[in-house]
Each structure stands twice: as C-alpha cells, then as structure tokens.
Amino acid sequence: MAHHKSAKKRIRRNARRAEINGDRVGRIRTFMKKVEAAITGGNAAEAKSAFQAAQPELQRGAQAGVLHRNTVARKLSRLSSRIKALA
C-alpha cells in the first residue's frame, strides 16, 4: 500500500483512467463489430456508413493513447479495402 499522499492520489487516478480507457476500448470494439457485421452481410452501403461512424472513434482512441496510431491506421486501411471489394 502507498504511504505518500502523492502515491495514494496516483493510485486513485490510475484506477479512474483505467476505467475510462476500458470503456473507450469497449466502444471501439462495438463500432468495429458493426462494420464487420455489415461487411460479412454483404451490405456495402451499411458497411460504408458504419465505417464512417467508426473512423473518428478509432482516431480518438489513438489520440487518447489507448491504441497506437499505426494500429488504428492499419485497421482502418484493412476495413476500407474490404468495403471497396464489396462494391
């Protein structure tokens, strides 16, 4: 257990950030699943709209440091190419 006041505050802060980051990752996964479901369903228009909704969510995750920016770029690129292949 922490003994210093600053260490105790850091523990509280880390717990709060972990909760926020976990929620953010969950949101990102949900958006990704919506895009994946539309792609597997073969609905290009729905996939495109889901992709457009997922893009800013992924970028926010990268900006917040939850995901690496290259990971986000790779995921978006692969999804985009799969959506283009539908059309």
Q: What are the tens digits of pLDDT across the range 17-64?
A: 999 999 999 999 999 999 999 999 999 999 999 999 999 999 999 999
Choose among 35, 44, 50: nearest CA to 87.
44
Does residue 1 have a pLDDT over 90?
no
Domains of the chain: 5-86 (1.20.58.110)
